[in-house]
Structure 1
Amino acid sequence: MKKVIIFTLLVSLTLAGKAQSSKTTSSPSTSSKTETSDPDNLASQFFSQVMGVAISATSNTKMYQFIYDWLGTPYRFGGNTKKGIDCSGFTKAMYDKVFNTTLLRNSRDIFSMTNPLSKDELKVGDLVFFKIKSKSITHVGVYLGDNRFAHASSSRGVVISDLNEPYYSRYFYKGGRITESLKEE
């Protein structure tokens, strides 16, 4: 319920910002959008607060909106709905809806679709892979910047976590960027 109220407030502020900016009739050389009337800036400020990452107005707000819509969804192994979802299902759904890219269904197979990256090479939208108490990849999430990532945790459902948390730092394996040849144009 709290998410619905917050989202409604964001939409109201965004619409008010669009209405205010459309009323401005000054010439392009003298007009400038203020932070409070720019809907993209309002959205980025909102998601920055909710997700704990610095998000610019030029960021992929569609990705952050997707994550926000799924936050709190319970974990269910093999699940792919709002009733329950696992880490690879969440990642696959996000890439399908946000990036128009079809991923394979489990974290090991998804890793095979990427160019591996070190932690310091990660960019927003890249994938992060973990080997949790295993010799093979067992978990995947989506990097948000500022060492934060979104994922479906087996104990907490869809959440945003920090790569520097001792648990995730211990089991982090590699980052990955989907190879360009796999992206749909």
Structure 2
Amino acid sequence: MTRNKYITLLLSIAIIVFSGIVTAQTSEQQHRLSDEPSLFERYTNSAQDLILKGLELVGINYRRGGTDPENGLDCSGFVQIVFKDAVGMLLPRTAREQSEMGNIVDRNELKAGDLVFFNTMRRTFSHVGIYLGDNRFLHAPRAGAEVRVEDMSQGYWVKRYNGARRVVER
């Protein structure tokens, strides 16, 4: 065997051996990483958890100052209980205080789980709901009503929209 063929053979064997080690590590790392949720899955799971918890409360009566589904919820009490139960996040009590949490989100960049704010009492950030997607949001609207899904593209909500915040990083 010539020296060049011998070196080529050794290099080929080395490449095969080392590629097996790298492949084994990569496979092991992939297996370990597959047990952890991806960024997309974490975002999706948080948003889904918020929406599912919020939808469970559809039909609960509105009650000014309400923070308990048994006795009724106001808008900020609704948001507070959804975030606490769905993702373990404690939000402040009022819509105004909740409007200071997280990061500002442009209306055209809204994602499920974002908080949306409205001026419904002649003052900014007086009402809050949870964005569902497709221009819809969940909220506890007013006395005599129940927690429900609403369309943000309706004139009433368009005129009163104040902004949005993303409080759950995804």
Instruction: Normalising by structure 2, report the TM-score.
Output: 0.67
CA distance in 2 between partners of 1:120 and 1:101 (Å): 25
| Residues 64 and 133 of structure 1: CA distance in aligned 2, closer, same or farther (over 3 Å) | closer
Task: Report the count of equivalent residues.
Answer: 124
Counterpart residue number, 2:161: 172
Counterpart residue number, 1:94: 82
Q: Which has the higher helix share?
A: 2
Q: Which runs of 5+ in 1 are unaligned?
A: 1-57
Which among 156, 163, 166 is matched to residue 145 of structure 2?
A: 156
1:68 aligns with 2:41: no
Instruction: Normalising by structure 1, report the TM-score.
Output: 0.62
Moved over 3 A (4+): 58-61
Q: Which runs of 5+ in 2 are unaligned?
A: 1-43
Greater Cα radius of gyration, structure 1 or 2: 2
CA distance in 1 between partners of 2:51 and 2:91 (Å): 19
Q: What is the deviation of 1:105? A: 0.3
Which among 132, 143, 157 is matched to residue 131 of structure 2?
A: 143
After TM superposition, list the pairs within 5 Å mapping 1:15-30 onto structure 2: none
Larger relative CO (CA 8 A, sep 6+): 1 or 2?
A: 2
Q: 1:129, 1:139 within 8 Å by CA — same for their partners in 2?
A: yes
| Residues 61 and 137 of structure 1: CA distance in aligned 2, closer, same or farther (over 3 Å) | closer
Q: Percent identity?
A: 35
| Residues 148 and 179 of structure 1: CA distance in aligned 2, closer, same or farther (over 3 Å) | closer
CA distance in 2 between partners of 1:89 and 1:81 (Å): 8
Q: How big is the alpha-carbon RMSD for the aligned residues of Structure 1 and Structure 2?
A: 1.9
